[in-house]
């Protein structure tokens, strides 16, 4: 009478042992899955930062197609398209991201940025208007300033530029944009101050140096500012200053600046030489 009980116990023991033997495999599979997620996350980070932009686009497009519900891959594709200079495609990708149920206000800001890159200012403004005023980020205010600029709402633009500059530890770019805005309005003095301030944060930015020279030239200040520059940069800045002088009918000053630019450049400065020849002819 005891044998059936014994057999049952043995069978139950076998089942238990079998369950114990399967457990390590399940743990291994879970561990491998976690490792794959980590590896994929690292690869995504690499693609978004140091990878070739077009390779990143191909990677995120392929991976997003395989995982259509994952918003991180949609964001990766949209960001990579921006890096690759494919703004029109990025607008489509950001719209798909914004339509995702897990999207947030930062995604809408990125959509507005892509729209500005395609020169669709009205659509960008419409997207920014949908973001609550409680969202106070650098990117949001930077774009708000640019939109206000495009609408020639100068007081509003100045306010947004000032807020944006205060929300980042690297304000060189936004200060340069603000200075250029001032320059286009005819406020060369205000522009010069902003360009000078921008260069204290990033002395290597040549665009800002060139803008600073333009602001000084508009005031008929025909000396180069005291900023860090290479010999080639100095020649280019002298050339910019020369053109500014010529534009204001200070032709003799412009000629002299062109000669200085040609002498300063470490190689043959074709553009300056051609301009000087045209003036002297």
- pLDDT score, position 119: 97
User: From residue 167, how far is each of 22, 86, 190, 201 by CA, in Å?
Assistant: 55, 28, 21, 14
Burial of 91 (0-12, 13-18, 19+ CB in 10 A): buried
**Interior/surface letters 137-149, b for 16+ CB within 10 angstroms, e for the rest:** ebbbbbbbbbbbb
Within a 10 A sphere around the Cβ of 257, how many other Cβ atoms? Answer: 27
Residue 47 CB partners (closer than 8 Å, separation 6+): 55, 56, 59, 60, 76, 80
Task: Say which DSSP state 137 is in.
Answer: -
Q: Take residue 54 and report the two structure tokens written for it.
A: 């077009």
- pLDDT score, position 46: 75
Task: Say which DSSP state 281 is in.
Answer: -
- pLDDT score, position 50: 60
Low-confidence ranges of the chain (pLDDT < 70): 1-43, 50
Q: Where are the domains of the chain?
A: 136-223, 229-281
For residue range 2-17, what is the model confidence (pLDDT) as tens digits?
444 444 434 344 434 3
Q: Take residue 44 and report the two structure tokens written for it.
A: 């995504």
For residue range 169-185, what is the model confidence (pLDDT) as tens digits?
999 999 999 999 999 99
CATH code of the domain occupying 136-223: 1.25.40.10
């Amino acid at each position: 009478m005891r044998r059936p009980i014994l057999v049952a116990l043995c069978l139950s023991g076998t089942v238990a042992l079998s369950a114990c033997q399967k457990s390590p495999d399940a743990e291994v599979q879970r561990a491998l899955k976690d490792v794959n997620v980590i590896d994929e996350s690292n690869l995504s980070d690499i693609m978004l930062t140091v990878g070739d932009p077009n390779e990143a686009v191909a990677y995120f497009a392929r991976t997003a197609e395989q995982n259509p519900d994952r918003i991180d891959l949609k964001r990766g594709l949209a960001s990579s398209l921006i890096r690759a200079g494919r703004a029109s495609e990025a607008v489509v990708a950001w719209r798909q991201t914004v339509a995702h149920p897990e999207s947030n206000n930062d995604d809408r800001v990125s959509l507005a940025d892509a729209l500005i890159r395609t020169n669709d200012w009205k659509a960008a403004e419409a997207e920014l208007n949908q973001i609550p005023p409680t969202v106070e980020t650098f990117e949001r205010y930077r774009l708000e300033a640019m939109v206000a600029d495009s609408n020639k709402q100068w007081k509003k633009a100045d306010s947004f530029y000032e807020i944006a500059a205060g929300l980042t530890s690297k304000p060189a770019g936004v200060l340069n944009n603000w200075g250029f805005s001032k320059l286009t309005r005819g406020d060369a003095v205000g522009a010069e101050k902003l360009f000078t301030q921008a260069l204290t944060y990033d002395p290597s930015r040549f665009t800002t140096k060139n803008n600073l020279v333009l602001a000084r030239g508009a005031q008929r200040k025909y000396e180069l500012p005291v900023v860090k520059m290479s010999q080639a940069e100095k020649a280019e800045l002298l050339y910019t200053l020369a053109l500014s002088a010529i534009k204001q009918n200070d032709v003799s000053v412009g000629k002299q600046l062109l000669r200085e630019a040609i002498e300063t450049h470490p190689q043959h400065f074709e553009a300056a030489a051609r301009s000087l020849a045209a003036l002297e002819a």
